[in-house]
């Protein structure tokens, strides 16, 4: 009787081990993130132009500090236009790839008034320090791809997926100068494989910046003249 019970317990233990996922089962979060970034890269190759509405909140010591709202337009080869709603209603910035300067039109109702600034000028950098040629989704996807090769992702970092979106926490060198390690929580739409929300944190988990991107319009008829100031 005791012998039969022992055999049963051993058999049950074997079944339990077979049913339980071991440490090597499934894909790591790093592999899942790589698969998402590859889908983003593939999808963006088909994008001739896009526009989206953007809200950006900057934080100081973890507390909301400044708020920006604008519409962003992009066309290959890196033609960029930004139309601000807040805090500079009526201001537009124009940039074409390879140029060392961007054009700023402060008033849409006075189209003849325009100024040229170096893309390195603090006058047209974002509050976080991004230059105008670092603001399109192609640049951001390249940023993700580069950092997946450079920065080892922690096994415990989060990765969640549902029918509409994927959310993951991503370790990367800072977006501006790539000198210090930061955390990024990124929400990607499965409809177009573009980011819809980007949260930036320091390593201690303190919020630095949140970008919300919505109402994407992709591959519409955006003529080159629309990007001329």
Give the CA angle between residues 163, 188, 191 to the nearest 5°.
55
Q: How high is the pLDDT of residue 118?
A: 97
Give the C-alpha separation, 81 to 103, whole Å.
10
Residue 8 banded pLDDT, cuts 50, 70, 90: very low
Per the CB < 8 A criterion, the answer to whether 159 and 29 are in contact is yes
**C-alpha to C-alpha distances, 43 to 96, 135, 163, nearest whole angstrom:** 22, 18, 18
Residue 178 has what pLDDT? 80
Residue-wise pLDDT tens digits, 79-107: 999 999 999 999 999 999 999 999 999 99
Rounded to an integer, what distance in angstroms lies between the CA atom of residue 156 and that of residue 158? 6
Reduced to 3 states (helix: H, G, I; strand: E, B; else coil), residue 10 is helix
Tell me the three state secondary structure of residue 174. Answer: coil
- What are the pLDDT digits (tens) for 53-77? 999 999 998 899 999 999 999 999 8
State the pLDDT at residue 156: 56
Mean pLDDT of the chain: 87
Q: What backbone phi and psi angles, to 5 degrees, belong to 17? A: -65, -35
The CA dihedral of 26, 29, 33, 39, to the nearest 10 degrees, is 10
Q: Which two tokens stand for residue 175?
A: 């977006």
Residue range 200-211: average pLDDT? 95
């Amino acid at each position: 009787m005791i012998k039969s019970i022992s055999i049963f317990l051993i058999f049950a233990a074997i079944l339990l081990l077979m049913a339980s996922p071991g440490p090597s089962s499934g894909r790591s979060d790093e592999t899942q993130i790589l698969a998402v970034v590859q889908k983003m890269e593939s999808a963006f190759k088909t994008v001739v132009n896009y526009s989206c509405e953007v809200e950006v909140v900057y934080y100081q010591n973890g507390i909301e500090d400044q708020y920006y709202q604008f519409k962003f337009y992009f066309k290959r080869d890196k033609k960029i236009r930004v139309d601000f709603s807040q805090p500079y209603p009526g201001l537009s910035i124009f940039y074409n790839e390879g140029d060392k300067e961007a054009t700023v039109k402060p008033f849409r109702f006075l189209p003849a008034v325009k100024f040229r600034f170096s893309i390195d000028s603090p006058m047209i950098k974002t509050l976080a320090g991004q230059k105008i040629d670092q603001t399109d989704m192609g640049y951001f996807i390249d940023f993700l791809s580069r950092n997946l090769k450079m920065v080892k992702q922690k096994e415990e970092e989060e990765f969640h997926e549902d029918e509409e979106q994927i959310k993951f926490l991503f370790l990367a060198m800072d977006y501006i100068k790539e000198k210090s390690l930061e955390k990024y929580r990124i929400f990607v739409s499965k409809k177009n494989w573009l980011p819809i929300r980007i949260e930036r944190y320091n390593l201690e988990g303190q919020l630095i910046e949140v970008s919300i991107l919505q109402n994407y319009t992709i591959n519409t008829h955006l003529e080159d003249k629309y990007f001329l100031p």
